A and B are shown apart, each in its own frame.
Chain A
Amino acid sequence: MRMQLSRSARDNLTAYTFLAPWLLGFLVLTLYPMIYSLYLSFTEFNILQPPQWIGADNYIAMFGGNDEVRADPRFMNSLWVTFRFVFISVPVKLMFALAVAMLMNQKLRLIPVYRTLYYIPTLLGGSVSIAVLWRRLFAGDGVINQILDLSFGIQGPAWISNPKYALSTLIILAVWQFGSPMIIFLAGLKQIPDEYYESARVDGAGPVRQFLSITLPGLSPIIFFNLVMQMITAFQSFTQAYVISGGQGGPLDSTMFYSLYLYLKGFGFAEMGYASAMAWFLLIMIAVLTAILFRFSGSLVTYGSGE
């Protein structure tokens, strides 16, 4: 009994030693800013003057307001825009990334070149040049419409400045920059031992069987990681929408992402308290969705450690 106790104590000591840098960093560098922003979410704070405690008014304004607090319809709109963006772009991007990763996992001589070229769109990130490029592609007289006109005689709309289509150009951009999940998938594919495939081939399994019975289960922790992280990042999408709409989320707020509106509120309109409330609502929302994903992952994700 005594032996066991001291052993688990020693295990704890070892683990916390490994964990020490992260714990220290969390307590010193991360915790205070988080708590402080939670406090700010209950205040009116114009950045330059001390925050004023206003209770839950910021949260009330976000969800319809009441007699004293003015409702904020732009908030609800930004939430809706972001939901549509997340639920379309994440699955499409992940499927595309996985397909390309498998394409890039073949033993072709030029593979290093191909991989690098496919990664370039991601390298461009959210730079000004992306904004110029995207307008050039999706404007009324842009490249896409020229192609549509030449090949099908269709007169396309001004995709990027039409409220009906503007969001889809940003979804296309997100999918186009599929490099990060692709690389992670590629790393995951490399980690599946070759002999698994060899023995499957010996058993006469075709490519589809191999994919379903080896690749998918072997890759499941990585698929799960990409799903969770892409969801978190997509909810916080900011830069691309910011540069393309010139920080305005237009036309008609159709690309006013949650984070973009948060930023506009916090720094533009000098309502950092309200922005903090938005940030904490986003945190709670993402946390709930992540928890649901973790719950579901239990039966679908196979870990090497058998957990």
Chain B
Amino acid sequence: MKRSVLMALALVVGVGMAFASGSQEAADSQGDGTTTIRWAYWGSGTRVEISQAAIDLYEERNADIQVNPEVSGGAGDHFIKVDTQIAGGAGPDIIQMGGNINDYVSRGVLLPLDQFAGNELNVDVIDDSAIQSGTIDGTLYGVSTGVTMPALVYNKSLLEREGIALPEVSMTYAEFRDYLVMLRDNLPDDVYPMMDIGAMSSNSTPFGYWSRYNGTPLYDAERNMTPVTAEAATRYLELFQDYRENGLVPPADIAAGYAETNADTSAIVAGRVAIGYLFTNQLSGYQAAMTDELALIEFPGAAETNALWVAPSQFYTVNLNSEHPEETVKFINFLVNDPDAALILGNNRGASASATARAAGASSPADQKVLDYLEAAAPHTSPDTPRVPNDTELNSTLYLIYQQVAFGQLTPEEGGQEIYDLLTRLIEES
């Protein structure tokens, strides 16, 4: 018996030791003078390949630098990973950031970049608006990777097949409603004129647009309050209630089936609606998932109010605890400003905001529609305003309130009050 016990023990200790010794090697791999920059971003196929091509070029020019791309499949995965890494004290050097950049700035995990501007980072050739959008409370935290804009997207082939006149790029709300009525009367029975654009998970954008259209952004950062009133939010809910009751958008239970998080959950890709909403950088992805041709128009009323805005599609930001801030910023400068890098990277992370990069980059034909739209809509824009704190909670709760109204559990008045309460609470809690 003694022997059997000893055997069991030896087995455990032996295997344990084998792995423990293996782990020691993994711990220290550095020490040959090269600096490793960890670059965390999200993306798929093409973005991974061109990012690697840019890395290869940079490593070729800088033999002492090694860049390790830590790529995740989507923004959701990316941020969970980055959050855990930062909490564990091992955050990456470059963090690709989206609309939630304010949340990361307010939690104090990003490195201010002002000290590098003009030195490692050439800001002179980057558009002012792009620098502005990466500047929070007077400090530069993010370098824009490119720009994007909210837009309505319509199924051009479908309308042509049905012999329906294509929509104007700029319409007033009244003209837009008439157009939807005309669509309803001419489209096949199972196709609705427009997606219920509040019933999707990124709905703070259409609501934010509508607020700007009324002259009130969702968030006034200087006074730390929301200019939106409960009455105004109610009117937004009533606008879509009117569309819903008149068959201009799908009934609540149909609309709820399409979260529009990607092409697989898209009503416009599935051919159930003629008009949807997206950010321009999503157009190529939607187009790749369907044979019908898509095209872009502005949100209604943009021409009168300049309520549209140019948004940074993504930022490069630097981890506050990065061990190699200078090398990291130099690499970012290469990514956004270097002509060779621009040729490699194209418009994959949004239409470039750097003059030198734009001069070098030739866009693919697929991106042409986006560029045309950006140009046409440019006069109908005004500067971007700061995001409401806690972007994810805003979208998730807004989605819930909107659905409660759509399914008839709340009246638009009650819903409007809840939206107001939500905005007020999120701003107070920050």
Contact = CB atoms under 8 A, between A and B. Distances in A.
A70 B12 CA distance: 51
A246 B16 CA distance: 41
Interface of B: 1, 5, 8-9, 12, 16, 76, 79-80, 83-84, 86-87, 103-104, 107-109, 190, 201, 252-259, 261, 264-265, 390, 392-393, 396, 399-400, 403-404, 407, 409, 425
**Interface range on chain A (Cβ under 8 Å from partner):** 35 or more
| Chain A contact residues, majority secondary structure | loop
A1 interface: no
A151 B293 CA distance: 36
A251 B201 CA distance: 11
Nearest to A50: B87
Nearest 7 A/B pairs, CB to CB: A161-B257, A251-B256, A161-B256, A246-B259, A48-B107, A268-B392, A162-B253
A103 B80 CA distance: 44
Interface stretch (A12-20, A219-227, A292-300): A12-20
B403 A251 contact: yes
A269 B259 CA distance: 19
B399 A248 contact: yes
Contacts of B399: 248, 250
Contacts of A141: 190
Contacts of B390: 269-270
Given A14-B1, A269-B390, A269-B393, A48 B403 contact: no
A8 interface: no
B391 to A, nearest CB: 9
Interface of A: 13-14, 17-18, 20-21, 46-49, 70, 74, 128, 131-132, 135, 139-141, 157-158, 160-163, 245-248, 250-253, 264, 267-270
Contact of A140 (B87, B107, B254): B254
B268 to A, nearest CB: 15
Given A47-B83, A161-B253, A163-B407, 18 more contacts: A17-B5, A18-B8, A21-B16, A47-B84, A48-B104, A48-B108, A74-B400, A131-B264, A135-B257, A160-B257, A161-B255, A163-B256, A246-B259, A248-B259, A250-B399, A250-B400, A264-B392, A268-B393
A245 B261 CA distance: 10
A160 B201 CA distance: 16
B107 A49 contact: yes
Contacts of B190: 141
A157 to B, nearest CB: 7
22 contacts: A13-B5, A17-B8, A20-B12, A21-B12, A47-B83, A47-B84, A48-B86, A135-B264, A139-B257, A140-B254, A158-B253, A158-B254, A162-B253, A163-B256, A245-B259, A246-B261, A247-B201, A250-B256, A250-B399, A252-B404, A252-B409, A264-B392
A87 to B, nearest CB: 25
B87 A47 contact: yes
Contacts of A245: 259
Contacts of A47: 83-84, 86-87
Contacts of B257: 135, 139-140, 158, 160-161
Given A47-B83, A47-B87, A48-B87, A246 B201 contact: yes
Nearest to A269: B393
Contact of B253 (A157, A267, A269): A157
A80 to B, nearest CB: 15
A267 B104 CA distance: 13
Contacts of A253: 400
A49 B103 CA distance: 12
Nearest to B426: A269
B107 to A, nearest CB: 4
Contact of B83 (A18, A48, A74): A48
A247 B258 CA distance: 13
A13 B396 CA distance: 55
Given A48-B87, A48-B108, A245-B259, A267 B254 contact: no
Contact of A48 (B9, B109, B409): B109
Contacts of B396: 248, 264, 268-269
A163 B393 CA distance: 21
Contacts of B1: 14
Nearest to A247: B76
A246 B425 CA distance: 25
B256 to A, nearest CB: 4
Contact of B107 (A46, A160, A248, A252): A46
B393 A251 contact: no
A187 to B, nearest CB: 25
Contacts of B261: 246-247
Given A141-B190, A253-B400, A267 B9 contact: no
A17 B12 CA distance: 10
A252 B108 contact: no
Contact of A161 (B104, B108, B254, B425): B254
Contacts of A157: 253
B4 to A, nearest CB: 9
B103 A251 contact: no
B40 to A, nearest CB: 14
B139 to A, nearest CB: 17
A20 B256 contact: no
B87 A252 contact: no
Nearest to B12: A21
Nearest to B84: A47
A161 B12 CA distance: 52
A21 B14 CA distance: 12
B128 to A, nearest CB: 30
A92 B161 CA distance: 48
A252 B79 contact: no
Nearest to A162: B253
Contacts of B80: 267
Contacts of A17: 5, 8-9
Contacts of A163: 253, 256, 407
Contacts of B109: 48
